[in-house]
Structure 1
Amino acid sequence: MNKTVGISCAVGAAFIYGFAPLLAKIAYMDGCNTITLTFFRSLISFPVMFAILKTKKIPIKVSRKDFFTLIILSFLGAFATGLMLYGAYNYISVGLTTCIHYVYPVLVALVCVLFFKEKISMTKLAAMGLSIIGLLSFLEGDLQVNFIGIALALGSGIAYAAFLVVMDKTEIKHLHPFLISFYCASVASVCLFIFGTATNQIVYHIAPRGWVLMFVMAMGVSVIANSITPIAVKNVGPTVTAILGMFEPIISVILGILFLKEAFTFRSVVGCILVILSVVMLTLERDKTNEKLE
């Protein structure tokens, strides 16, 4: 276990995920929709992941037990989470969607404590509390209620919490991260194609910029971020990975200000500071732990 690698991967994944709302919003302007975006994001990344596995000579075949666990993991992460999260952007704002989606760190912590008898340090609890307060600070002027959007955002948080717990509490986390991403992309592609075809929601007449954005999201989210998240879970556990994931909304807020002309208020500044402070607290706790081990 290398906590430095784990924290770096968790923050790096959050940074990449932070770009997703902006790219999705722009892709929607170019004729894309939720099903199409999620489907092509997974489909485009599939051959890339296959090529990486072949280049690194990583066997694709897994045991039957791991295969079924990967199916569940893929459905929760690449399919359900992405589908509901991107779907929520159609009904409520990026800020409100992000705040509701980020119920998942609390859910991960509760599941680990109640069902797996894990202990959470006061530092982690404080960091989680600061992060939640920071996220709530982003809600200023952003309270338009749409129950479909809220339900989708909440569902995405629940699905992602289950994704992190399953990854940590099964033997899956010992598989190569690229192999996990490969299966997630393949299963998500099949599920989304069936769902999109049945509902007639997959569109192909998309502006060139939209195709470019979907390719960028495939490489960034499906290939890189989805591959380093298992590394984070393996090295620092699902709770710390979930808390560090709250760095994502800071990126979303900054990008929204720069490209979507969203307001940047004093409360937004406070929210960013609190989330960053929670990351610093977890990093310092890591340092103290290393000192004790030494």
Structure 2
Amino acid sequence: MSKEQIGALWMVSASVAYGFMPIWTVLGQNSELTTDFILFFRFACASALLFLLSRFEKIPILLPKRKILEFLFLGGILYSVQSFAYLDSLRYIQTALSVMLYHIYPVIVTLVALMFFKEKIQLKTLLALVLCIIGLVVILQIPKDITLNHLGVTLSLIGALFYGLYVIFSQSITRNCHFLVASFYVCFFSSIAMFLSMLRAHETMPNLFEIPFIGIFALLALTIFSTLFAMVAYYLGMPKIGITKTAILGMIEPLVAVVLSIWILGDTLSALQYFGAFLIIFGSILLCIRR
């Protein structure tokens, strides 16, 4: 296999692993685990494993104080907020709907680049933005017999906003950092943020021996498969295929998540909503190609 084919294989693997993330989360929530605890477990265990992996590879993990403060902002605020908002939205709206709303974030990244970084707008960019916005409007056309939970929609869109900001800021903050070190600090500070959130909500740590088997399985799968493996596969694939192809292959993630939510969780969307989802994905691919 060529270098590019190997990179594409890693990226597809990462997108599939990330696509399973909402499924593990819903299974954990169905086992009466809070979103705060699910994320704390995920980030704490992932950061511990990343630390051990960095030590095994003999990669220096200490960073200058300023860089650590930047990672505190990146992981402790942006990444933790987007993770909580996105995954907590699954408690209120269908997984397929949440996934599609969350993946509007390429639009946010593009709008921020246009407004604050003064990038010139191209016809293809304008077309992609219009398609994504129309798709967002269409996908929110819930059948009359179903009540739309506005909190769930708001949380999913907040997740998209903060992930878009994370993508923007991470480009400069993680520059010249080994991917294991960058991933470690993001997960480490996210775990601290989730722990503080648990304290603020007066949550107690559940007894792991009392959690149903499916809940334990979901926690481990979320941590090992959809976090640690997904991160490593992403960073192994991206340098081999470039940013544009990485972003395009990343759109496999919402497709995997939607298919799994229908197959495993029994979610259903109308034909019109599927058309809206197609518009969002197609528009996002156009934005990725532009970038």
TM-score tier after normalising by the smaller chain length: 0.7 to 0.9
Per-residue deviation, residues 201-222 of structure 1 (Å, max 9, x unmatched): 3433421221111111111232
Gaps of 5+ in 1: 287-294
The whole-number CA distance in structure 1 between the counterparts of 2:202 and 2:248 is 37
Q: CA RMSD in A?
A: 3.5
Correspondence for 1:175 among 177, 181, 186: 177
For 1:42-121, list aligned pairs within 5 A: 42-119=43-120, 121=122
Pick closer, same or farther for the CA change 1:137–1:7 going to 2, 3 Å: farther
Identity %: 25
Q: Quick check: 1:259 aligned with 2:264? A: yes
Per-residue deviation, residues 35-74 of structure 1 (Å, max 9, x unmatched): 1111111122122111211122211011222211111111
Alignment match, 2:222: 217
The whole-number CA distance in structure 1 between the counterparts of 2:78 and 2:10 is 17
Q: Quick check: 1:166 aligned with 2:173? A: no
Per-residue deviation, residues 159-180 of structure 1 (Å, max 9, x unmatched): 1111000012x24233111111
Alignment match, 1:193: 195
Pick closer, same or farther for the CA change 1:43–1:225 going to 2, 3 Å: same
Pick closer, same or farther for the CA change 1:112–1:285 going to 2, 3 Å: closer
The whole-number CA distance in structure 2 between the counterparts of 1:275 and 1:9 is 24
The whole-number CA distance in structure 2 between the counterparts of 1:116 and 1:4 is 33
The offset of 1:17, in angstroms, is 2.1
CA contact (8 A) 1:103 1:157 kept: yes
Pick closer, same or farther for the CA change 1:241–1:117 going to 2, 3 Å: farther
Pick closer, same or farther for the CA change 1:128–1:254 going to 2, 3 Å: farther
The whole-number CA distance in structure 1 between the counterparts of 2:82 and 2:11 is 17
The offset of 1:151, in angstroms, is 2.6
CA contact (8 A) 1:7 1:236 kept: no
| TM-score, reference length from structure 2 | 0.79
| TM-score, reference length from structure 1 | 0.79
Per-residue deviation, residues 87-115 of structure 1 (Å, max 9, x unmatched): 11112222332233233211100111222
Pick closer, same or farther for the CA change 1:211–1:244 going to 2, 3 Å: same
The whole-number CA distance in structure 1 between the counterparts of 2:127 and 2:8 is 17
Q: Quick check: 1:148 aligned with 2:155? A: no
The whole-number CA distance in structure 1 between the counterparts of 2:212 and 2:193 is 25
The whole-number CA distance in structure 2 between the counterparts of 1:135 and 1:243 is 19
The offset of 1:224, in angstroms, is 2.9
The whole-number CA distance in structure 2 between the counterparts of 1:106 and 1:9 is 25
Pick closer, same or farther for the CA change 1:19–1:284 going to 2, 3 Å: same
The whole-number CA distance in structure 2 between the counterparts of 1:137 and 1:46 is 39
Pick closer, same or farther for the CA change 1:17–1:124 going to 2, 3 Å: farther
Pick closer, same or farther for the CA change 1:153–1:276 going to 2, 3 Å: closer
CA contact (8 A) 1:92 1:150 kept: yes
Pick closer, same or farther for the CA change 1:128–1:14 going to 2, 3 Å: farther
Alignment match, 1:25: 26
Read off the aligned partner of 1:98 and give its amino acid letter: V
Gaps of 5+ in 2: none
